[in-house]
Amino acid sequence: MSDNVAYTNSTGLGAYTRGIISLSNQITLYIYVGGKGSNAKVGAHSSGGYNGGGTGAWDEKDDDTGGGGGGATDIRLTNGSWDSFNSQKTRIMIAAGGGGRCWRVDSPGYGGGLKGGDVLYHDGSVYCAGGTQTSKIWGHGDNAAGKATNDAGGYYTALAGGGGGYYGGNCSWNANSKTGDVYYSSASGGSSFISGHTGCNAISSSSTSTNIVHTGQPNHYSGYVFANTVMKAGNESMPSPTSGTEIGHSGNGYCKITWHPAL
């Protein structure tokens, strides 16, 4: 038996997932540890964190700039490049990354549980929704680089990158419906996944990169299913990798596996 815990990070705080799984036969597990998204910088786009963080975009004109999203931390059954679909489809546990932050503006979405954290207008309505169990971008956060646009005054605007996860977070413009202006915007967080966790929506073994089919139930098609699962979004209290607790996880990702041979 093993007790698997995955942490991840971005400027929007990362999620936490945990579960216990019985391994009766020898098996190789592949651990992909998420990286922190790069801070926003003037004069260049910002890279997303390893394992699915979306790129952040400088406005390509002056000093508006957005940071990269945080990468997810996950446990897989098949090796390969982090973005290989055939590898990603074997993920049995994922802790989502948070969205990148744009300078002096709204808070980014946190890495989510079943759903990633949204980015909100000042009135509390959503303009940049987080990843879910079935939607936004499979396996990585939305890339902002290359999406610079002009506002009504002719100025370019910056945009941050989405957080990685089961489905990655989104990046979209904060538009003013009255003036036509679009504003630099932070990005939303990705969603987490645990095989066997109530509310998760696993994909079928027949899924391809162009046709992802969800089964409507939480168990991964491999038959590897976790018990005693815990899923915490980046706005919740969770165990810290070092000691004690923290509200969301910051910095690079972290994964811990503890063996329980007597169980």
Task: State pTM to two decimals.
Answer: 0.91
CB crowding 109-137: b at 16 or more within 10 Å, else e: bbbbbbbbbbbbeeeeeebbbbbbbeebb
Q: Tell me phi and psi for residue 245, to 5 degrees.
A: -130, 170
β-pair partners for 94: 74, 193
Per-residue pLDDT of the chain (263 residues; tens, 9 = 90+): 344 444 443 468 999 999 999 987 788 999 999 999 988 888 888 899 999 999 988 877 777 788 899 999 999 999 999 999 999 999 999 999 999 988 655 678 899 999 999 988 767 778 789 999 999 999 999 998 777 665 555 556 778 899 999 999 998 766 655 555 556 678 999 999 999 999 999 999 999 999 999 999 999 999 999 999 999 999 999 999 988 999 999 999 999 999 877 66
Chain segment 38-96, per-residue pLDDT in tens = 888 888 888 999 999 999 888 777 777 888 999 999 999 999 999 999 999 999 999 99
Spell out the domain ranges in the chain: 1-263
Closest CA to 213 of 223, 202, 224, 221: 202
Helices (H) and strands (E) in the chain, counts: 1, 18
Helix or strand holding residue 249 (H, E): none
